[in-house]
Structure 1
Amino acid sequence: MSYLSIEFGLLFIVFFAIYWAFNLLPKFQNALLLVSSYLIVSSYSWQFALILGVYTSVTYLISIMISVSKDHAKSWLIFGLIISISNLALFKYFDFFRQELQALLNVFHIPILLPLFSVLIPIGISFYTFHSVSYLVSVKRKEIEVAKFWDFALFLSFFPSIVAGPINRAKDFLPQISVCEPRQILEPYRAFILIMMSIIKVYCLGGWINDAWVNPIFANPLEFSVIDLLVGVYAYAIQIYLNFSGYTDLVTGIALLLGFRLPINFNQPYLSLNLRHFWARWHISLSQWIRDYIYIPLGGNRKGFTRTQINVLLAMFLSGLWHGAGINFIIWGICHGIGIVALNIGDRFFGRDVISQRSPFIARLLTWHYVCFTWLFFYCENLSDALDYLMALTHNVMIKPQYWQAFLIIMVAYLVYPMCKNLPNLATVLLSKVNKLCLPVIMILILWCVIYFAPSGMPDFIYASF
C-alpha cells in the first residue's frame, strides 16, 4: 500500500483518531502501532511479516545473551552481526552471487549444486537490519539496557520508517517508544508542511519530471542530442532527490503527528561544495551509519593516509552494494569513493578546500555534475546501458536538441534554488498564524491542485526497493 494513496490517507485518519483517543495509555498506543506496522508489512506479503517476526525474535534473544554474558558478550555480538548480515545476504543478494558461488564450488570440485530460484526481497529488510545492528552494538556498549520485547519489535517494524528509512538509532528511538508519560503531537504545523511538501515533491513534480524528461530520454539515448542527454541526467538527479526527500518529509510528518521524531535525512545536498559535504547532507542517517559501523571500525583515519583512503573506498563500495545487488550500484559506490579519495589527495597536496575557498560556485557546480553523472549508473539497469548513454554524450553533438527549453528551466532552477532553501521554515511560520479550522481547507486545495497537475498513476518510492 502506497503511503501516498487515498486508501492509506483515509485509513491513517481513522488510525489517528483511535490512536489519540488513548493518549493517556502510551503502551496501548505502542500496541496499535505494532499491529498496524505488521499489517502494512503483510499488505505486501504475509511472508514478509513472518520473516520480520522471526528475525525480531532471534535478534532479541541474542541481545539478551550479550547483556547477561560477561565473558562472551563480544562473541554473541559477532554472532548477532553474522545472523543479521546472513539474513540480508540471503534475501537480497542470493541471486546476484549464486552464479559466482557456483563457479567457485566447481573450481574446487565441491559437489554442491546451489538451487535455482528467485528470492523475493522482503520490504524494508535493509532498514530493519541496520536498526537491529545499532541495537545490538548499543547493548554491547552498555549505551542502553535490553529493551522489552514488544518495544524492540516496534522499533524494528515502526511503519513510517520501515519501507524506506530513515535509519533510526536504538539509543535515540527506543526511549521514545518506552515512555510512560502521555505523548503529544509534535510540531503540528511543521508536520502539515512536511506532508504537503511530500505530496508536491513526489506526486506532482517528481512524477511530472519523470514522465516529461527522464523516461523519454533514457529510453533511447542514441536518438538525442548532447543538450537533451544533459537534461536527462539533470532531471533524474532532481527526480531522485524529490522522490527520496519527499518520502522522508512524509514519514517525518506522520511520525510527528504520532508523537515521534525521526532523524534528519536531507540537508540541501545539491548545495554541497564537495563530495564529503554531499554525503554529510544526502541520506544522512545512512551516511552516519556507514561511518560509525563500517568506516570507523575499519580504522577510520587513525591508521595513516593510505589506509584512510582504502577505508573510504571500502565504505563507499559497501554503500553501493547496499543500494542494490548489481554491478551498476557497485560502480556507483566506487565512483563516489574514488571522488572522495581524489578530494582527500587534493587537500593533502594543494590545501584543504582550495577550490571552494576561491570560488564556492565553481566548487558547487563541479560537485553537482560529478554527482549527476554517477547517478547514470544508479538509474541504468546494467553497465552497458550506462556506457551507451555516456557514448551518446560524446557522439551526438550535431543532433538538434529537442529539450532546450527544459535545459534552460533546469539552469534557472539550479541558480534560484539556494535562495529557496528556507521556504519550508517560512511556510511553517506563516501557517502557524492561520486559524486551525482553515487547515483542512488548505489541505484539500493543495491536494486538488496536485491531483489536477500531476501525471496519472501512483508514483513509486525509489528507495523502497533497497
Structure 2
Amino acid sequence: MSYLSIEFGLIFVVFFAIYWALRLLPKSQNNLLLISSYLIVASYSFQFAVILFFYTCAIYFFSVMIATSKYHAKRWLILGLSAAIINLALFKYFDFFRYELQSLLNYLDLSILLPVITVLIPIGISFYTFHSVSYLVSVKNKELSVAKFWDLALFLSFFPSIIAGPINRAKTFLPQIVVSKPREVLEPFRAFTLIILAIIKVYCLGGLISENWVTPIFSNPLEYCTLDLLVGLYAYAIQIYLNFSGYTDLVTGIALLLGFRLPINFNFPYLATNLRDFWDRWHISLSHWIRDYIYIPLGGSRHGFVRTQLNVMLAMLLSGLWHGAGINFIIWGSCHGIGIVFLNILDRYVGRGWIVQRSPIIARLLTWHYICFTWLFFCCESLADALDYLNALCHNFLVDSHYIGVFIIICIVFLMYPISKNIPNWCTAQLSKINSIFLPVFFTLILWLTIYLAPSGVPNFIYANF
C-alpha cells in the first residue's frame, strides 16, 4: 500500500483518531503501531511479515546472548551481525551472485548447473537490517540494555521508516518507544508542512518531470541531441531528489504526528561544493551509518593516507552494492569512491578547498555535473543502456534539440535553488497563522490541486526498491 494513495490517507485518519484516543496508554499505542506496521508489511506479502517476525526473534536472541555473556559477547556480536548480513545477502543478492557464478562456471567449461530459485526481496529488508545492526552494536557497547521483545519488534517494523528509511539508530529511537508518560503531537505545523511539501514533490513535480523528460529521453537516448541528453540527466537528478526527499518529508511528518522524531536525511544536497559535502547532505542516515559501521571499523583515517583511500573505496563500493545487486550500482558506488579519493589527493597536494576558496559556484557546478554523470548508472537498467546514453551524449551534437527551453529553465532553477532553503520554514510560519478550523480545508484543497495537476496513477518511491 502506497503512503500516497487515497486508501492509505483514509485509513490513516481512522488510525490517527484511535491512536490518540489511547494517549494515556503509551503501551497500547505501541501495540497499535506494531499491529499496523505488520499489516502494512503483510499488504505487500504475508511472507514478508513472517520473515520479519522470525528475523526479529533471531536478533532478540543474539542481543540477549551479547548482554548476558561475560566472556564471549564479542563472539555473539559477530554471530549476530553475520546472521543479519547473510539474511540480507540471501534475499537481496542470491540471483545476482547465482548468475555471475554460473557465467564463471560456463566460462571454465564446468558442467555444473546452479538451481534457478525465484527469491522475492522482502520489503524494507535493507532498512530493518541496518536498524538491527545498530541495535546489536549498541547492546554490545552497553549504550542500551536489552529491549523487551515487542519494543524491539516495533523498532524494526515501525511503518513510517521501514519501507525506505531513514535509518534509525537504536540508541536514539528505542527510548522514544519505551516511554511511560503520554506522548504528544510534535511540531504539528511543521508536520503538516512536510506532508504538503512531500505530496507536491513526489506526486506533482517528480511525476511531471519523469513523464515529460526522464522516461522519454532515457527510453530512446540515441534519438536525442547532446543538449537534450543533458536535460535527461539533470531531470533525473531532480526527480530522484524530489522523490526521495519527498518520501522522507512525508514519513517525518507522519512520525511527528505520532509523537516520534526521525533523523534528518537531507540538507539541500545539490548545494554541495564537493562529493564529501554531498554525502553530508544526501541520505544522511545512510552515509553516517556507513561511516560509523563500515568506514571507521575498517580503520577510517587512522592508518595512513593510502589505507584511508582504500577504506573510502571499499565503503563506497559497499554503498553501491547496497543500492542494488547489479554492475550499474557497483559502478555508481565506484564513481563516488574514485571522486572522493581524487578530492582527498587534491586536498593533500594542492590544498583543502582550493576550488571552493576561488569560486564556490564553479565548485558547485563541477560537483553537480559529476553527480549527474553518476546518476546515469543509477537510472539505467543495464550497463549497455548506460553506454548507449554516454555514446549519444558524446556524439549527437548535430541532432535538433527538443528541449532547449527546458535546459534554460533547469539552469535558472539551479541558480535559484539556494533560495529554496527557506521554503519549509516559511511555509511552517504561514500555516501557523491559519485558524486551526480552516487547516483541514486548506490541506484538502492543496491535496486536490496537486492530484489534479499530477500525472495519473500513484507514483512509486524509488528507494523502496532498495
Which TM-score band applies after superposition, normalised by the shorter structure? over 0.9
Alpha-carbon distance change, 104 to 409 in structure 1, aligned in 2, over 3 angstroms: closer
Corresponding residue for residue 424 of structure 1: 424
Corresponding residue for residue 319 of structure 2: 319
Q: Give the C-alpha shift of residue 99 in structure 1.
A: 3.0
Q: d(CA) in 2 for partners of 1:81 and 1:340?
A: 28
Q: Give the C-alpha shift of residue 100 in structure 1.
A: 3.3
SS at match of 1:420: helix
Corresponding residue for residue 221 of structure 1: 221
Q: Give the C-alpha shift of residue 421 in structure 1.
A: 1.0
Corresponding residue for residue 437 of structure 1: 437
Corresponding residue for residue 355 of structure 2: 355
Q: Give the C-alpha shift of residue 427 in structure 1.
A: 1.0
Corresponding residue for residue 96 of structure 1: 96
Q: d(CA) in 2 for partners of 1:92 and 1:164?
A: 15
Q: How many residues align?
A: 466
Q: d(CA) in 1 for partners of 2:31 and 2:236?
A: 40
Corresponding residue for residue 368 of structure 2: 368
Does residue 175 of structure 1 match 2:175? yes
Q: d(CA) in 1 for partners of 2:127 and 2:246?
A: 18
Question: What root-mean-square deviation, in Å, do the aligned CA atoms of Structure 1 and Structure 2 show?
Answer: 1.4
Does residue 406 of structure 1 match 2:406? yes
Corresponding residue for residue 449 of structure 2: 449
Alpha-carbon distance change, 14 to 388 in structure 1, aligned in 2, over 3 angstroms: same
Corresponding residue for residue 285 of structure 1: 285
TM-score for the superposition, normalised by structure 2: 0.98
Corresponding residue for residue 33 of structure 1: 33
Corresponding residue for residue 261 of structure 1: 261
Q: Any gaps of 5 or more consecutive residues in structure 2?
A: none
Identity within the alignment, %: 73
Query: What is the identity, as a one-letter code, of the residue corresponding to 1:137?
Result: V
Pick which of 395-404 and 108-117 moved more: 108-117
Query: What is the identity, as a one-letter code, of the residue corresponding to 1:88?
Result: L
Does residue 378 of structure 1 match 2:402? no
Q: Give the C-alpha shift of residue 101 in structure 1.
A: 3.5
Alpha-carbon distance change, 398 to 107 in structure 1, aligned in 2, over 3 angstroms: closer
Q: Give the C-alpha shift of residue 438 in structure 1.
A: 1.1
Query: What is the identity, as a one-letter code, of the residue corresponding to 1:120?
Result: L
Q: d(CA) in 1 for partners of 2:82 and 2:352?
A: 39
Q: Give the C-alpha shift of residue 115 in structure 1.
A: 2.0
Alpha-carbon distance change, 84 to 111 in structure 1, aligned in 2, over 3 angstroms: farther
TM-score for the superposition, normalised by structure 1: 0.98
Corresponding residue for residue 77 of structure 1: 77
Q: d(CA) in 2 for partners of 1:130 and 1:111?
A: 38
Corresponding residue for residue 120 of structure 2: 120
Q: d(CA) in 2 for partners of 1:329 and 1:12?
A: 35
- Within 5 Å, which residues of 2 pair with 1:380-395? 380-395=380-395
Q: Give the C-alpha shift of residue 398 in structure 1.
A: 0.5
Corresponding residue for residue 334 of structure 1: 334
Deviations 1:163-213 (A, max 9, x none): 000000000000000001000000000000000000000000000000010
Q: Give the C-alpha shift of residue 430 in structure 1.
A: 1.7
Q: d(CA) in 2 for partners of 1:380 and 1:443?
A: 36
- Within 5 Å, which residues of 2 pair with 1:1-16? 1-16=1-16
Corresponding residue for residue 166 of structure 1: 166
Query: What is the identity, as a one-letter code, of the residue corresponding to 1:125?
Result: I
Q: d(CA) in 1 for partners of 2:204 and 2:107?
A: 53
SS at match of 2:218: helix
Corresponding residue for residue 458 of structure 1: 458
Deviations 1:415-441 (A, max 9, x none): 111012111111111211211111111
Does residue 155 of structure 1 match 2:155? yes
Query: What is the identity, as a one-letter code, of the residue corresponding to 1:31?
Result: N
SS at match of 1:421: helix
Query: What is the identity, as a one-letter code, of the residue corresponding to 1:398?
Result: L
Deviations 1:133-163 (A, max 9, x none): 0000000000000000000000000000000
Pick which of 430-439 and 222-231 moved more: 430-439
Q: d(CA) in 2 for partners of 1:69 and 1:173?
A: 25
Query: What is the identity, as a one-letter code, of the residue corresponding to 2:116?
Result: L
SS at match of 1:296: helix
Alpha-carbon distance change, 368 to 68 in structure 1, aligned in 2, over 3 angstroms: same
Q: Give the C-alpha shift of residue 444 in structure 1.
A: 1.2
SS at match of 2:168: coil
Deviations 1:210-258 (A, max 9, x none): 0010001111100001110000000000000000000000000000000
Q: d(CA) in 2 for partners of 1:198 and 1:17?
A: 22
SS at match of 2:76: helix
Corresponding residue for residue 252 of structure 1: 252
Query: What is the identity, as a one-letter code, of the residue corresponding to 1:366?
Result: L
Q: Give the C-alpha shift of residue 451 in structure 1.
A: 1.3
Corresponding residue for residue 397 of structure 2: 397
Does residue 308 of structure 1 match 2:308? yes
Q: Give the C-alpha shift of residue 112 in structure 1.
A: 7.4
Q: Give the C-alpha shift of residue 452 in structure 1.
A: 1.3
SS at match of 1:297: helix
Q: d(CA) in 2 for partners of 1:326 and 1:350?
A: 36
Q: d(CA) in 2 for partners of 1:35 and 1:66?
A: 28
Q: Any gaps of 5 or more consecutive residues in structure 1?
A: none
Corresponding residue for residue 46 of structure 1: 46
Alpha-carbon distance change, 193 to 300 in structure 1, aligned in 2, over 3 angstroms: same
Query: What is the identity, as a one-letter code, of the residue corresponding to 1:130?
Result: F
Corresponding residue for residue 211 of structure 1: 211
Q: Give the C-alpha shift of residue 383 in structure 1.
A: 0.5
Q: Give the C-alpha shift of residue 104 in structure 1.
A: 6.4
Q: d(CA) in 1 for partners of 2:112 and 2:400?
A: 57
Q: Give the C-alpha shift of residue 129 in structure 1.
A: 0.2
Q: Give the C-alpha shift of residue 275 in structure 1.
A: 0.1
Alpha-carbon distance change, 29 to 416 in structure 1, aligned in 2, over 3 angstroms: same
SS at match of 2:195: helix
SS at match of 2:280: helix
Alpha-carbon distance change, 113 to 400 in structure 1, aligned in 2, over 3 angstroms: closer
Deviations 1:301-336 (A, max 9, x none): 000000000000000000000000000000000000
Q: d(CA) in 2 for partners of 1:115 and 1:132?
A: 31
Query: What is the identity, as a one-letter code, of the residue corresponding to 2:118?
Result: S
Alpha-carbon distance change, 139 to 107 in structure 1, aligned in 2, over 3 angstroms: farther
